[in-house]
Each structure stands twice: as C-alpha cells, then as structure tokens.
Amino acid sequence: MHIDNHRLNSAIQIPSPNFDLRTDPEDICLLVIHCISLPPEQFTGDYIDQLFCNQLDPNDHPYFEEIHQLKVSAHLLIRRDGSVRQYVPFNYRAWHAGVSSFEGRERCNDFSIGIELEGSVNQAYTDSQYQQLALVTKALLQAYPRLSLDRITGHSDIAPERKDDPGAFFDWGKYRGLLG
C-alpha cells in the first residue's frame, strides 16, 4: 500500500465535490479518526458515499431528511470489511472536522487528514478495520513527514463540545500496537 499523487493506490476512488484548496498543502500534520454510519447504527448500502457526494435522498430514511443538505466529506472511509474508499486527495482540504482545535490551533481541516471508520460510538470496530487503518496510517506517515504518531487524534479530541467519535469502543491501544 502506498500513496501516489496524493491518492491511496489501494482505495476505491469516489470523488466528492466537498473539498477545497488547503491554505498550505505542505502543512499536513494531523490525522483525525472519525466514525460514521448511515442510517445510524446500520452498516450496509452506499449512503455514506451518497452523503459525501451530495446525492443522499431524503426520502430513503427519516434521518436523511435532517442531513441530506450537509456539505461534508472525508479523505478516506474504511468500511466494516476493511475496504477503503477515497473521496478527496490528501493534498486538498476535506470537510470533516468542522469547528475544531488541536494544540491551540483552530480549523483542523486546514492541516489534517480525516479518516472515517464505518461504525458507531456504540459498537466495536472490526479487526479488518484496525488492520487496514494501521496500514493506511503507515503509508500516510511515510508520505507526509509532518505527521507523527503523537499527531493522531479522535474527532472528539478536536471538537469535544460537539463530537464523541470514534468513541469508547475504539481501541486506541490495539491501533497503536498495530503501528509498532
């Protein structure tokens, strides 16, 4: 697994329109772990792809009526089976963090890569997801030298007033152990 032209070579590429230019493309120095399931607590279908591509049909589920107009994205999604989808090249700013701060620095989207795990704060993640997340992280650490093990965080850590993902079921020790 490696990164070519800011794209993960093993990922399915699903271009999202929800991105823009980074203020400094060389300033990729934070990795943010998220989780998402659509509808909530359900792990089938292409609803996440549809959300990130502005194609979510509000008639498909009552929850979608609330969120279908959101303009959001992540760089990557790791599904329950370990498959990876890339929505935004790493050198662009994906819209994943929202109002956020890391070590006193605001607007984390400017300098971070966002990885969504298909999951929920209420359920454990799969072994396949941990394995794939570790491989992806190693590739990112190699490609972007300003990233480091101490600059990996959860969405809840950069937006604690608003977010609780990846949640208590995310095993940081297991993940870090796989990173070596």
Q: Any idea which architecture 3-179 has in CATH?
A: 3-Layer(aba) Sandwich (3.40)
Instruction: Name the 3-class secondary structure at 85.
Output: strand
Write the DSSP assignment of 130-175 as a string of letters: HHHHHHHHHHHHHH-TT--GGGEEEHHHHSTTT---S-TTS-HHHH
Known active-site residue 66: no
Q: Which residues pair with 118 in a beta bridge?
A: 36
What does the pLDDT profile of the chain (180 residues) look like in tens digits?
899 999 999 999 999 999 999 999 899 999 999 999 999 999 989 999 999 999 999 999 999 999 999 999 999 999 999 999 999 999 999 999 999 999 999 999 999 999 999 999 999 999 999 999 999 999 999 999 999 999 999 999 999 999 999 999 999 999 999 998
Which of 41, 65, 106, 116 is an active site residue?
Answer: 116
